[in-house]
Amino acid sequence: MSKRVGMLFSAKPNNAQLAVEHLKNNSELYWTTTFKIKGCNYSLPAIGLMHIKGDKVRYKCKIIDIREFKPFDYDNPAKNPEPWRNGYHNMPAVKRTTFVITEMLDFSYGTKNLVKVSGIRVKRPPQKHTRVYIPLREEI
């Protein structure tokens, strides 16, 4: 059986909670990163493992699209929590990517227990994103 590859990325606790609450009443969430992904090395839908800063991986996300950041995407209340809609028009799009997330499930897993596709264990939470193997159910 081949191992599934996913994306490990970090989030602030308050942003993760806003995202979870948003998805309770909306079908999509536009999550904008502080980094740019050049080309897409992920088959979609992709699995995202969200590391909560100061903690560990807390959510497994279903990412149905990885797209170029566009500030006007934040005008739609169905795509973003209200606190996120202010200020995005002034952000530089050069170093940003948007994940279209449709699901965030509780998934408690030690970030340093994950293994990168290079075969090396994750040593610290990523500043951008890291390709990792998704743990099998029996490893959780």
Do residues 53 and 11 touch, judged by C-beta distance below 8 A? yes
Instruction: Output the CA torsion sign for 62, 137, 14, 121.
Output: negative
Q: Which residues pair with 29 in a beta bridge?
A: 101
pLDDT tens per residue, range 58-100: 999 999 999 888 877 777 888 888 887 776 666 665 678 889 9
Start-to-end Cα distance in the chain: 17
Question: Peptide bond before 83: cis, by omega within 30 degrees of 0?
Answer: no
The whole model's pTM is what?
Answer: 0.87
Q: What integer pLDDT is reported at residue 64 of this predicted model?
A: 95
CATH fold for the domain made of 5-120: 2.30.130
Domain range list for the chain: 5-120
The one-character DSSP state at 117 is T
Q: What integer pLDDT is reported at residue 93 of this predicted model?
A: 57
Average pLDDT over residues 22-50: 86
State how far the Cα of 75 lies from the Cα of 53, in Å rounded to an integer.
27
Q: What integer pLDDT is reported at residue 91 of this predicted model?
A: 63
Q: What integer pLDDT is reported at residue 138 of this predicted model?
A: 46
Look at residue 76 and give its three-state secondary structure: coil
CA dihedral 92, 96, 102, 106 (to 10 degrees): -110
